Amino acid sequence: MRLCSLVSGFFLVGGVAPAFAQAAAPEAAPVLSAGDTAWMLTSTMLVILMIVPGLALFYGGLGRSKNMLSVLMQVFTLFALIPILWVIYGYSLVFAGGGALYGSFDKLLLGGITADSLSDTIPEYVFVAFQSTFAAITCALIVGSFAERVKFAAVITFAVLWFTFSYVPIAHMVWAPGGLLFEDGALDFAGGTVVHINAAMAGLIGAYMIGPRVGFGREAMPPHSLVMTMIGASLLWVGWFGFNAGSALSAGSTAGLAFVNTLLATGAAALSWSAAESWLKGKCSMLGSVSGAVAGLVAVTPAAGFVGPAGAIALGLLSGVACLWGVGGLKRMLRVDDAFDVFGVHGVGAILGAVLTGVLAAPSLGGTGGADFGMAHQVLVQLKSVAITLAWSGAVSFAAYKLVDLTIGLRVSEEAEREGLDISSHGETAYHS
């Protein structure tokens, strides 16, 4: 989502991408569009579908059967919690004016917003709901890095801290007028930096600080249900059309562009991952194919409304191969137990997509940049946004994990971990023979 201002109405950025924000002192009062509203309600429901059941099943299938319910419970509870925090203070601190790092407190608990309040052509309540789903899925993505070994209470407490001090300021910096990276002209159509790099860095720090699972590197830990993972990945793909095309905030041409780009990049990444895996291992796996699809979805997220279809295919082809390396070679270099490869897919894919958005948005390459688009300058801006997101999320994550560990503790006991978190943390099991 290329978010610009939430003062009074949306406007076009450089005549190309619809803004998420309201422009100050519009010439005419905004008018409700039933079509735009219907599309945004649909997009919001599609993003919810991505989280529950999509992400929950994708992650749940990747874990061992004794931890299936713990993963589902963590994702489900975070989806219940984060939208509430978003309404209480998150929305205001991101979109209600403010400075370089945070917004203001003017819209705490959605104060001043009524059923008749509009954000351009849609009710502001719809915009609030749509944005809440982005915050929720970002926090839920982190779960995949430290799965199968963390206390349930620690997950929830960490999420509250991280949402407040990492997601909220990064979202403001990138998407709100006055924000540090917004003022630089950073391009992030639907959350490459705000969602994926932000979450991936938090997951990577957590995986290091919490440590590897008991038996990691010595015992086999294969996914217990690739069927569940495939179903989850498919739901992610479907829901991502709302995630990306919904970020246009209207049922118009930019939504159409983001929609087709999401379709093409995902397919290209699934194919390139499978081809590379077949060349390296002699076989292409179903897990590899769906992982490639997710890599393509991640890579096209920051670019969806800024690049042409050919650019989206190129992004997909590159991200499939890059993320295959991310979950293999890079993971071995980092020597970390990132359980479900959050950094290898979401981190690597989003960094690639964010940087290449600065290239592929050029009109000479089919992008939507203006005649004065400067590729070298934009790439530098994109690199700066990536670096600041990694640094900010890393610092906040380290502090939040440390605070949680010093108070309630991060990790379950070795005995509880070997028994499985379903029984030890929740007193139930996913399957009965």
From CA 130, how far away is CA 124, in angstroms rounded? 10
Structure tokens at 349: 């894919």
From CA 238, how far away is CA 219, in angstroms rounded? 35
Per-residue model confidence (pLDDT) at position 51: 98
**Which H or E run contains 18?**
strand 17-18
- E-only strand ranges, 111-223: 118-119, 122-123
From CA 84, how far away is CA 136, in angstroms rounded? 10
Amino acid at 363: P
From CA 408, how far away is CA 156, in angstroms rounded? 11
Per-residue model confidence (pLDDT) at position 27: 59
Give yes or no for a contact between 296 and 319, defined as CB atoms under 8 angstroms apart: yes
Spatial CB neighbours of 413, under 8 Å, sequence gap ≥ 6: none
Structure tokens at 150: 């963390």
> Mind listing the pLDDT tens digit of every residue in the chain (433 residues)?
444 333 333 323 333 343 344 444 455 788 999 999 999 999 999 999 999 999 999 999 999 999 999 999 999 999 999 999 999 999 999 999 889 999 999 999 999 999 999 999 999 999 999 999 999 999 999 999 999 999 999 999 999 999 999 999 999 999 999 999 999 999 999 999 999 999 999 999 999 999 999 999 999 999 999 999 999 999 999 999 999 999 999 999 999 999 999 999 999 999 999 999 999 999 999 999 999 999 999 999 999 999 999 999 999 999 999 999 999 999 999 999 999 999 999 999 999 999 999 999 999 999 999 999 999 999 999 999 999 999 999 999 999 999 999 999 999 999 999 999 999 999 999 999 7
Distances (CA, A) of 134 to 24, 48, 195, 423, 429: 25, 9, 7, 31, 30
Per-residue model confidence (pLDDT) at position 98: 84
From CA 384, how far away is CA 238, in angstroms rounded? 31
> 35-426 domain in CATH 1.10.3430.10?
yes
Per-residue model confidence (pLDDT) at position 29: 83
Strand, helix or coil for residue 151? coil
Is the CA virtual torsion 120, 124, 130, 131 positive or negative? Answer: positive
Give yes or no for a contact between 337 and 365, defined as CB atoms under 8 angstroms apart: no
Per-residue model confidence (pLDDT) at position 13: 34
From CA 170, how far away is CA 183, in angstroms rounded? 13
Per-residue model confidence (pLDDT) at position 174: 98
Q: DSSP states of 317-376 as a string? A: HHHHHHHHHIIIIIHHHHT---TT-HIIIIIHHHHHHHHHHHHHTSGGGT----TT--HH
In this structure, what are the phi and psi dihedrals at residue 156, rounded to the nearest 5 degrees?
-70, -45
Q: What is the 3-state secondary structure (H, E, C) of 30-57?
A: CCCCHHHHHHHHHHHHHHHHHHHHHHHH
From CA 148, how far away is CA 64, in angstroms rounded? 8
Per-residue model confidence (pLDDT) at position 148: 98
With 0-12 / 13-18 / 19 or more C-beta atoms within 10 angstroms meaning exposed / middle / buried, residue 36 is: buried
Does residue 53 have a cis bond before it (omega within 30 degrees)?
A: yes
